[in-house]
Structure 1
């Protein structure tokens, strides 16, 4: 089935934002006298959000009494770095161009806060007509609210939408919204995770495979 719209998660799906976080994490660690971490270890945590990255940066746990202070310190540094090195995953230029040529609208549905999402898209630059962030809904992914809101703004039925993401919460949100789910196996998936456990409708080893599903 040709979709009426295609929605994408942002970090680790549409855009390789880990490239910005490599310097963010290691500059903060260096400032506190901690040794640098390998890029892969940082990449594995990017899709897990600011708290997970703060835990990684300072070797602390989520129940640390000052975890929110550490998270904000990381985000403040990220604000200056966001978009500095981030790029579309290879192959998405062709995917987005094909969607435009077919007249299929596309949008971004992310748990990334609006401040950093807008800065990222502006600095890359990358234009999307539809961008839904956690501030736009009461419950963010894995709840379906943000996906359903995007479909509503696009004026398309949810069951005619595809959603592409690199985390189990993305697949759960797609299922709950009644959308066809695509797992981005090229994204930020930790070594101890098996995306086949997510039970997505389809799996992508690279962005270009989405064109095959579009019959291109």
Structure 2
């Protein structure tokens, strides 16, 4: 095993707790349609699956069905107007990013969120230092679970996939990272539904807090030196 020199993160549900603002946007859209709001506890687990999942639970519409495109466009419009009112970095993330920098480990973001939402959100999050790369859902021709955005991030960061660790809270994150040749961790503190089974996704480990990334890196380095 090579040493980890770059850590890449999913954005929603891994680096930042965006669910409050996305839930507010969905409930505003529901109100505009004369529908009752949904409880936050129902919305939170689907946030990592993006706007299609939000429109599905709010309006029972899937991509391609009549009305879906209009609902999705309006949802994103509402969200873009106020995308960082309640959104915060998860507890421990600032300390994690500072620790990575102190160790000389670069970090970046690979998300399926479109760039017109990703870029202003990243600017407003109050990050302790900027990422070496930000790859959004429309940066490359394919999005996760395809490995293309992961490999694009490597090119920007001048990193080899085998020297990278990807941290995410969805099965697509693990698939994309593994298919790109990276190590992967599942962020159990993210947006994972009751019917999902992260232990079956094939990640290298499951973590319950951001700072456990450092523990995993240290353990991996110990295993490498022991050989």
TM-score, normalised on structure 2? 0.90
Alignment RMSD = 1.5
- 77-86 or 26-35, which moves further after superposition? 26-35
Distance 1:213 1:55 in 2: 36
Cα deviation per residue 1:190-216 (whole Å; 9 max; x = unaligned)?
Answer: 111110110111111111211212339
- 8 Å Cα contact 2:46-2:53 kept in structure 1: yes
TM-score, normalised on structure 1? 0.95
- 8 Å Cα contact 1:83-1:121 kept in structure 2: no
| SS at 1:84 equivalent | coil
Count residues in correspondence. 216
Which residue number corresponds to residue 207 of structure 2?
204
Cα deviation per residue 1:159-184 (whole Å; 9 max; x = unaligned)?
Answer: 01000010000000011000001011
Deviation at residue 63 of structure 1 after TM alignment: 4.7
- 8 Å Cα contact 1:29-1:36 kept in structure 2: yes
- 157-166 or 134-143, which moves further after superposition? 134-143
Which residue number corresponds to residue 167 of structure 1?
170
Which residue number corresponds to residue 54 of structure 1?
55
Structure 2 unmatched ranges of 5 or more? 220-227
- 8 Å Cα contact 1:142-1:170 kept in structure 2: yes
Deviation at residue 131 of structure 1 after TM alignment: 0.3
Which residue number corresponds to residue 22 of structure 1?
23
Distance 2:96 2:125 in 1: 17
Structure 1 unmatched ranges of 5 or more? none
